[in-house]
Amino acid sequence: MKKVLEISLGVVTSVGGFLEVGSLTTAVQAGAAFHFQLIWAIVLGTICIVFLVEMAGRFAAVSHHTIADGIRERFGFNAFLWPLLAVLLVNLLVMSAEIGGVAIALELATGIGFHWWALLVALLAWVFLWKGTFGFIEKGVSMLGLVTLCFVVGAVMLKPGWGQVAAGAILTVPDHDATNYWFMAVSILGASISPYLFMFYSSGAIEDRWDESYLGANRAIAAMGMSFGGTISVSVLIVAALVLAPHRIDQVYDYHQLPLILFPIFGFWGFVLFIASLGIACFGAVLEVGLQQAYLVAQGFGWTWGEDQKPRDNPGFSTVYTVALFLSALPIAAGVDPLKLTIFSMALTAASLPLSVIPFLFLMNDKRYVGKHRNGMISNAAVIFVIALGFVLAIVTIPLQIFGGT
Amino acid sequence: MDLVRDVLDKQVIDREQVKIGKVDGLVAELRPGKPPRIVAIELGSIALARRLGARPGRWMAGLSARLGGKRHSEPHRIAWNKVRDIGIDIEVDIDVRETAIFCWQNWLRDHVVSRIPGAG
């Protein structure tokens, strides 16, 4: 009974925490520009994150190491520096984008420009981390994130052709805007497979003192939580495709267009629901990425870490998230367009994945860490395939996107 | 036992189970005609910087000495005979409060963190 409760709680928190500024905006843009044609990218990204999250939990439960601990121990400090720096940088950008998401929600709600909100949002997130406990942040905030399920309700109410939706889940070559298509596919992959997600999950498993008895629960939480989460992303794409196409909006380059997508379904409440979803989902992500920055540095250098201790007993750890939050708020406060920043950081995430995922896969195949719970062929192959696809697409399309390809 | 594989870069905890750092370096004694013997483990930024090269090592040593005074001009060393257990973590029979390892964390606590409301 206790396990069932724990599994449901885990699934609920994964679902509530799934949607964030990256998955939301990439899904809206993809739906507007290519109708259902990019659903496959969400499906592929979701399958990959299911595998990675399951591995992260299994690794922590069996080896009692976090991923950062494991990579440093197995490959040495010099090799560890590369994934460390790459993930810190990507997280910094992603956290900026998430702060931007909350700031846009506040601008849409109040009419006061987003850049005025950036430092306030960072300050509020900091208060949560400074005073909160891990359980409060992980469970409380992601419960609120369940408001994002309104997109699923919206998608069903729009009665899409489910045959077309299913057809979109199959990889197809576009008949127009090929560069843009593949770039969006990369951004979607990067938004679905965030390193902070699975690294955070391994730290959480250690904070919650998981052991091998949690392996079943871990599998259930990863599979259900992440695939329900992916369902929300697909719903956002469906809603965007069906709502924006009749208005001949095929490019969403201005975030003021975003709240329109729920308006035709729920009327004024659609506007409110959109703002609440955007604000809460992104705020939850700010907290998670902020914590992950501190986890990563503290675990990499062997300091005391843990969100349940008072900042006084944990000065190094609490200083890292304080500095990280402040730095991430700066670009938004300076007026960088959150939408552009989001798309760019998601593509960069996809490009950076091999640096964090490949060493992790080595750990998952190393008997000294996971014993008989080593990876099977299928999970190795699935993750390598998606990571390689994301990497190649990112390397090809990011320069084209920046230097004005069409 | 393969020391580089099984000891280097592992988590170190003190006798109160406090996480005090990673094994950032190993100190070996070269003995003529016999295999080298590990005499100590090293912790801290200087030991880490030395692994990146001789020059980063000198820079970090200079920086630490300037910031923390003379006793921070060398890596923190813990004698090998203080190692009590090698498992998931490496447990050493010392109390971190009696060493200089946490000087910077203490400074941070006393001068920054404690001055912010709600630090506990």
Residue B57 belongs to some domain of the structure: yes
- A110 and chain B: CB distance < 8 Å anywhere? no
- A73 and chain B: CB distance < 8 Å anywhere? yes
pLDDT, tens only, A276-326 = 999 999 999 999 999 999 999 999 999 988 888 899 989 999 999 999 999
Q: Which residues of chain A neighbour B11 with C-beta distances below 8 Å?
A: 69, 73, 302
3-class DSSP string for chain A? CHHHHHHHHHHHHHHHHHCCHHHHHHHHHHHHHHCCCCHHHHHHHHHHHHHHHHHHHHHHHHHCCCHHHHHHHHHHHHHHHHHHHHHHHHHHHHHHHHHHHHHHHHHHHHCCCHHHHHHHHHHHHHHHHHHCCHHHHHHHHHHHHHHHHHHHHHHHHCCCCHHHHHHHCCCCCCCCCHHHHHHHHHHHHHHHCCHHHHHHHHHHHHHCCCCHHHHHHHHHHHHHHHHHHHHHHHHHHHHHHHHHHHHCCCCCCCHHHHHHHHHHHHCHHHHHHHHHHHHHHHHHHHHHHHHHHHHHHHHHHCCCCCCCCCHHHCHHHHHHHHHHHHHHHHHHHCCCCHHHHHHHHHHHHHHHHHHHHHHHHHHHCCHHHHHHHCCCHHHHHHHHHHHHHHHHHHHHHHHHHHCCCC
- Closest residue on chain A to B108 (Cα): A315
**For residue B29, what is the domain's CATH number?**
2.30.30.240
Contact A162, A319 (CB under 8 A): no
Structure confidence at residue B1 as a pLDDT band (50, 70, 90): low
How near does any CA of chain A get to the CA of B76, in Å? Answer: 14
Residue B77 belongs to some domain of the structure: yes
How near does any CA of chain A get to the CA of B6, in Å? Answer: 8
Residue A299 burial (10 A CB sphere; 0-12, 13-18, 19+):
buried
pLDDT, tens only, A370-405 = 999 999 999 999 999 989 999 998 998 888 877 754
Residue B44 belongs to some domain of the structure: yes
- A136 and chain B: CB distance < 8 Å anywhere? no
pLDDT, tens only, B9-66 = 999 999 999 999 999 999 999 889 888 889 999 999 999 999 999 999 999 999 999 9
Q: Which residues of chain B neighbour A312 with C-beta distances below 8 Å?
A: 109, 113-114, 119-120
Asked if the model's pLDDT at residue B4 lies above 90, the reply is no
Which member of A72, A131, A304 has the closest CB to residue B19?
A: A304
- B20 and chain A: CB distance < 8 Å anywhere? yes
Residue B100 belongs to some domain of the structure: no
Alpha carbon distance A196, A95 (integer Å)? 10
Which member of A77, A305, A310 has the closest CB to residue B24?
A: A77
Q: Which residues of chain A neighbour B20 with C-beta distances below 8 Å?
A: 302
Which member of A78, A303, A318 has the closest CB to residue B51?
A: A78
Q: What amino acid occupies position A377?
A: M
Q: Which two tokens stand for residue B110?
A: 């006393």
Q: Which residues of chain A neighbour B104 with C-beta distances below 8 Å?
A: 316
Total number of domains constituting chain B: 1
Its ipTM equals 0.93
Residue B105 belongs to some domain of the structure: no
Q: How far is CA A140 from CA A12, A137, A149, A317, in A?
A: 11, 6, 16, 22
Domain extent at residue B48: 3-95
CB contact under 8 A, B9 and A305: no
- Closest residue on chain A to B48 (Cα): A77
Residue B37 belongs to some domain of the structure: yes
pLDDT, tens only, A165-198 = 999 999 999 888 888 899 999 999 999 998 998 9
The pLDDT value recorded for residue A404 is 59
The pLDDT value recorded for residue A406 is 42
Interface test with B, best of A207, A309, A312, A363 (most B CBs within 10 A): A312
How near does any CA of chain A get to the CA of B23, in Å? Answer: 9
- Closest residue on chain B to A322 (Cα): B113
Residue B112 belongs to some domain of the structure: no
Q: Which residues of chain A have pLDDT under 50?
A: 405-406
How near does any CA of chain A get to the CA of B21, in Å? Answer: 4
How near does any CA of chain A get to the CA of B71, in Å? Answer: 21
* Contacts across the A-B interface (CB distance below 8 Å): 68
Q: How far is CA A210 from CA A8, A204, A266, A299, in A?
A: 16, 9, 42, 17
Residue B45 belongs to some domain of the structure: yes
How near does any CA of chain A get to the CA of B33, in Å? Answer: 29
